[in-house]
Amino acid sequence: MRGSRRPARCLVVRLARVYCAVMFSRLLTVTFDAHDATRLARFWAGMLGRGVVEDADGALLPGDDTQLSLRFVPSRTETVGSNRMHLHLTSASRADQERMVATALGLGAGHVDVGQRPEEGHIVLADPEGNEFCVIEPGNAFLAGCGLLGELACDGTREVGLFWSEALGWPLVWDQDQDRGPVTVRRHEGRVGRPTRGPEGGVEPAALRTRPG
């Protein structure tokens, strides 16, 4: 990467008393650096159907008990290569996936090649500032019930994935290769032995995936 910019700069977490006096962190916000924070926020607002809240530090797309908030802050540094974090959006049908791709292109996104194979069902795009994201094919079992913003995918070792599993209290749903990963953790209803509701009582379906960089 050129300079010091990290397009997905940080995660915001909050400690929450969930059950049996055990303390878990709660994933709240992903922050992106942006040359034009307002423009990028409006792009994602159009993709996710949210409003934009502007303040002195940039722009926020508030989430709720079921979806992460996204924050965009001004930065003049540049990036090169693939980002270490990217978002996965879900789709309900092939037509819905095509509609989402068309919406993204109309808002200023573009297609991007990150090595995906033609037979893979997801569509890889980049937002107006080059942040990659995927529109996932319908019927993806791992993201079933996770909402429109279904997953945050991150470069990282298996140990990073295991750390977040413990920190968030989310069970592993994918850990096939115990030498390298990737590792996927998610929180959703029906997972035995783990909390399924946030401290305010709202269901919090989401997934976090780490993979070797």
pLDDT mean over 23-30: 72
Residue 16 has pLDDT above 70, yes or no: no
Burial class (CB in 10 A: 0-12, 13-18, 19+), 113: exposed
pLDDT band with cut points at 50, 70 and 90 for residue 186: low
Burial tier of 121 (Cβ tally within 10 Å: 0-12, 13-18, 19+):
middle
CA distances from 29 to 90, 123, 192 (A): 19, 24, 26
pLDDT, position 203:
30
Per residue in 164-175, pLDDT (tens digit) is: 777 777 777 667
Cα dist. 46→43, 61, 153, 157, 166 in Å? 5, 11, 21, 33, 34
Spatial strand order of the sheet with 53-55 comes to 8-19, 22-34, 69-74, 58-61, 53-55
Residue 127 near residue 7, CB atoms below 8 Å: no
Question: What pLDDT was estimated at residue 76?
Answer: 87
- Flag whether pLDDT at 24 surpasses 60: yes
pLDDT above 90: residue 40: yes
Q: What is the pLDDT of residue 208?
A: 65
Tell me which residue of 148, 167, 205, 207 sits closest to 13, measured CA to CA: 167
Beta-carbon-side half-sphere exposure of residue 153 (alpha carbons within 13 Å): 21
Rg over CA atoms, the chain: 17
Percent of the chain with pLDDT over 90: 35
DSSP summary character for residue 58: E
Report whether pLDDT(212) > 70.
Answer: no
Whether the pLDDT of residue 207 is over 50: the answer is: yes
Could you tell me if 153 and 176 are in contact, meaning their C-beta atoms sit under 8 angstroms apart? no
Cα separation, 158 vs 103, in Å, equals 34
Lowest mean per-residue pLDDT among 41-45, 113-117, 135-139, 183-187? 183-187
Q: Which domains does the chain have, with CATH numbers?
A: 8-211 (3.10.180.10)
Q: Which pLDDT score is estimated for 73?
A: 94
Give the closest residue to 114 by CA, choosing from 124, 122, 104: 124
Is the pLDDT higher at 211 or at 2? 211
Helix (H) or strand (E) holding 208: strand 206-211
